[in-house]
Amino acid sequence: MMPDCLKRLRGLVLAFAACNAYAIEPVKVTLEFQPDPDNGRYVFEICARCHLPEAWGDKEGNYPQLAGQHVNVLMKQLLDIRTGHRDNPTMLPFVQERTIGGYQNLVDVVAYISTLPMAPIHSQGPWPDPDSAEYRQGMRLYQAKCSGCHGASGEGVDAAHYPRLQGQHFSYMKRQALSVREGLRKVDPAMTAVLDALSDDELEKVLSYISYLPVPREDLAPSAEWRNPDFQ
């Protein structure tokens, strides 16, 4: 005779196998948290080791500018890395629950980051002259292929998880774009299609144009010498 517990287990396995015979839609669960930026400041100490206390990243493109980015975009990336949807071995240890904490801590840290002013100077592409043919081609490419999601001024869309591109390092954007094209980073299929359709020359020009999109003055730190007072 088969014990009842094994009968139940066998039934679960069979039910699971049967379900897998059909296409199953992903299940989305919405959780709401009240952000606590004060706690986020303490959680951010983990992040500041690489992203710097100002959350400005670096001009070499190793780390992005986080300051000024939309909270839903930041949260999505943290969760994507934590769950393995985005492959980022460098970040993976730092987004684990035993390292940074649970969902509340993630909410708090992205809320804190959103309060930080953006770097007044970031790495930019090789074509700053608006009258140059390269700049104009980059502008046309952006308007045709990128602005529909990222906005006419690169402002992004928080609710749709479209990143803000204004003020992002040219070097970082280029590294990420190449990672997507090489299959090393998975993003929305529409974004992959856009990047695959661009030649290397076109990619360089459109990213250069993006890097010169103006950032509203009120979002910028007063100078490149500004330092986060929470870390002094």
Residues 139 and 215 in one domain: yes
Residues 189 and 159 in one domain: yes
Number of domains in the chain: 2
Residues 110 and 147 in one domain: no
Could you report the per-residue pLDDT of 188-200, keeping only the tens digit for each?
A: 899 999 999 999 9
Residues 78 and 156 in one domain: no
- Which pTM was predicted? 0.86
Residue at a domain's end among 51, 83, 116: 116
For the chain, give the longest Cα–Cα distance: 84
Residues 192 and 160 in one domain: yes
Q: In whole angstroms, give the CA distance from residue 195 to residue 230.
A: 39
Average pLDDT over residues 157-179: 96
Residue 131 has pLDDT above 70, yes or no: yes
Q: In whole angstroms, give the CA distance from residue 86 to residue 80.
A: 5
Could you report the per-residue pLDDT of 35-92, keeping only the tens digit for each?
A: 999 999 999 999 999 999 999 999 998 999 999 999 999 999 999 999 888 888 999 9
Could you report the per-residue pLDDT of 4-21, keeping only the tens digit for each?
A: 433 333 333 334 344 455
Q: What's the pLDDT score for residue 52?
A: 96
Q: In whole angstroms, give the CA distance from residue 60 to residue 64.
A: 9
Domain annotation covers residue 156: yes
pLDDT band at 125 (very low <50, low <70, confident <90, very high): very high
Residues 146 and 201 in one domain: yes
Domain annotation covers residue 154: yes
Domain, as residue range, for 112? 37-116
CATH number for the domain including 111? 1.10.760.10
Residue at a domain's end among 86, 116, 146: 116
User: Rounded to the nearest 5 degrees, what angle is found at the Cα of 218, between the Cα atoms of 214 and 223?
Assistant: 85
Residues 140 and 111 in one domain: no
pLDDT band at 137 (very low <50, low <70, confident <90, very high): very high
Domain annotation covers residue 100: yes
Average pLDDT over residues 168-189: 92
